[in-house]
Amino acid sequence: MSTRRLTIKDLPPSERPRERVINRGAAALSDAELLAILLRTGTAEETAVELAGRILVEIGGLSELPRSSLDDLTAIKGLGPAKAVTLLAAAELAVRLSSRLRQEVAIVTTPAEAAELVMEEMRHYQREHFRILLLDTKNKVLGLEEVSVGSLNTSLVHPREVFRPAIRKACASVILLHNHPSGDPTPSREDLEVTRRLCEGGRLLGIEVLDHLVIGDGKFVSFRERGLLPLPR
């Protein structure tokens, strides 16, 4: 005898997440209920809300969702690739939205302020991402540009690629940013070499490299604060 997969429609109308969003707004829903809307269906033994609650328990809470991989999620009973991809996409959108909102009309005056703009997004990356923060003469953020993805080296991070968006937006200065997937932001020898080359390139173009931040898991290293930025020749 086949078993029917439980859906949100099996719940009383007053307990269905979609109806509650319509009647009370999304903010009234719990984390599990919001995930249940994305899941749409549960398993033969669980409603979507129950499945969502179990997912949150198994991954360690909602904040761990952006750090989860597809393999992590599909290892959870009742969660197939399609649902797992939906959850990962939603988590990435949430992280990007949070980062974009912080960048709007932001003025950067300290390394900590620059790190705060990208920390929640970049701390979760499983590969190294190299980015530049574009600033005007008053240190207002003009944009955040991704230059490369992959292990940081001098061939991937070429001055031509780094400064092209800076020239296009006529910015006065830039802050270099990249993450260490290990979570440890200690600069490597390669990080130092890339920084030296880019500072030289910036001087030739008249675009100052204000800092290079290495982003770890909730912490960062500022080359400027550590005295690691090359001195002008």
Domain ranges in the chain? 8-99, 105-226
Mean pLDDT for the stretch of residues 179-195 = 93
Say what the pLDDT of residue 112 is. Answer: 95
Residue 193 has pLDDT above 60, yes or no: yes
In terms of DSSP H, where are the helices of the chain?
17-24, 31-39, 48-59, 70-74, 81-103, 111-122, 159-168, 189-205, 223-226
pLDDT at 10 over 70: no
User: For the residues 209-215, what does the mean pLDDT come to?
Assistant: 97
Q: How confident is the model at residue 170 (pLDDT cuts 50, 70, 90)?
A: very high
- Is the CB of residue 135 less than 8 Å from the CB of residue 142? yes
Reported CATH class of domain 8-99: mainly alpha
What is the CATH architecture assignment of 105-226?
A: 3-Layer(aba) Sandwich (3.40)
Q: Is this prediction's pTM over 0.75? A: no
When pLDDT is averaged across residues 165-193 and rounded to a whole number, the result is 94
- What is the model's pLDDT at position 105? 54
Question: In the chain, pLDDT over 90 holds for what percent of residues?
Answer: 57
Between 15 and 63, the more confident residue is 63
Alpha carbons 124 and 183: distance in angstroms, whole number: 9
Q: What are phi and psi of 76, to 5 degrees?
A: -80, 130
Same fold, 8-99 and 105-226: no
Query: What's the rounded mean pLDDT across residues 38-46?
Result: 89
